[in-house]
Amino acid sequence: MAGAVIGVIALAGSLAACGGDSLEKDKGAPAGDKDSGKKGSLVVGAAAFTESKVLAELYAQILGDAGYSTSVTTVKNRELYEPSLEKGEIDVVPEYAATIAEFLNAKVNGAKAAESKPVASGDTAATVAALKKLAEPRGLKVLPAGKAVDQNAFAVTKEFAGKHKLKSLSDLGAAKVGVKVAAGDECEVRPFCAPGLKKTYGIDVTGIDPKGVGTPQSKQAVKDGKDQLVLTTTTDAVLDTYDLVFLDDDKKLQNADNVLPVLNAKDAGAQDIADALGRLTGALTTEDLAQLNRKVDAERAKPADVAREYLRSKGLVKK
């Protein structure tokens, strides 16, 4: 997944990586194992990055199993698909609680006001409550968030963690050891990166190595000892290949970007839709999501096939 440090009012970033240029409803491309569609048709929106496509397939297939005719349409970014969701051109999208909350905060109150008064935090319940207040007047229905979360995360080598007895970012701050961070150059000023590491955890950030967020180059630099800390995301499934481990964000520096469905309330507000998606949300974990991403990105499997295998393995759809 294309990473980016998530700013206070991130309108794009890692959770809205993009591709494609316009909304194209693809009614002719059914997704997953759908039934005859007696309950009607639903369009599931996906942003143009791997994880969103996988989530959209999961949504489409579990809704297909519930009796709806479903299709997936990929849209460039949130700025395009969110208005389409409000209009009912798209019926449901997989979203990330904090990021969509701040997107709507900026849309409703203006970017400057949203920056000075963010509604998202590391508290999942509070973030989802704030999201609902912004979403519901716009005709959107927000379903409960699950355990799966995709947010910024920091990692070190297993050797470095062992040497300094590190399990969390608090441990790193207490160790009083200087670290150079492999990340995007924006890490220097973003509150969830270097400034936050210093202020929240007391970590001695000695510099930024601008090799990108979660890129192979960034992780290799840490593995080789050139840098000590890498910024990636919680669904990075290849950390182990670089002998890296996550440090727990125990003081919740990062916002709660738990995965949750957002629907057009008029067209997709039925209880059986919420129930079907709720079963998926309840089962999906961050580790599951990382492995699904790995299968698509590293093993070149198709999102639809990966989604089908997962849903069947969890008993969420009929065999």
Please give the average pLDDT of every successive group of 10 residues along the chain, which has 319 residues. 35 34 40 55 94 97 97 91 96 97 96 94 96 98 97 97 98 98 92 95 97 93 98 92 96 96 97 98 97 92 97 93
| pLDDT at residue 24, as a whole number | 43
| pLDDT at residue 318, as a whole number | 87
Sheet holding 152-157, edge to edge: 205-210, 179-183, 229-233, 152-157, 244-247
One-letter identity of residue 54: V
Calpha distance 306→300 (Å, rounded): 10
6-to-54, 118, 129 alpha-carbon distances in Å: 21, 13, 20
> Tokens 């059914």 map to which residue?
30
Phi, psi angles (nearest 5°) of residue 185: -65, -20
Task: Choose among 110, 93, 94, 84: nearest CA to 9.
Answer: 110
| pLDDT at residue 35, as a whole number | 43
CA torsion sign for 241, 286, 59, 12 is negative
Sheet holding 69-75, edge to edge: 69-75, 41-47, 92-96, 259-264, 140-142
Tokens at 218, concatenated? 């960034």
Task: Choose among 133, 74, 146: nearest CA to 105.
Answer: 133
Calpha distance 95→44 (Å, rounded): 12
| pLDDT at residue 298, as a whole number | 86
Calpha distance 226→208 (Å, rounded): 11
292 close to 125: Cβ distance less than 8 angstroms? no
| pLDDT at residue 103, as a whole number | 95
| pLDDT at residue 15, as a whole number | 34
Contacts of 228 by beta carbon, 8 Å cutoff, 6+ apart: 156, 160, 177, 178, 179, 180, 181, 222
151 close to 254: Cβ distance less than 8 angstroms? yes
Residue 14 DSSP class: G
| pLDDT at residue 296, as a whole number | 93
37 close to 26: Cβ distance less than 8 angstroms? no
Contacts of 119 by beta carbon, 8 Å cutoff, 6+ apart: 101, 102, 105, 127, 130, 131, 134
| pLDDT at residue 264, as a whole number | 98
| pLDDT at residue 297, as a whole number | 87
Calpha distance 45→84 (Å, rounded): 9
> How far is the first Cα of the chain from the last one, in angstroms, to the nearest whole number?
29
| pLDDT at residue 48, as a whole number | 87
| pLDDT at residue 5, as a whole number | 35
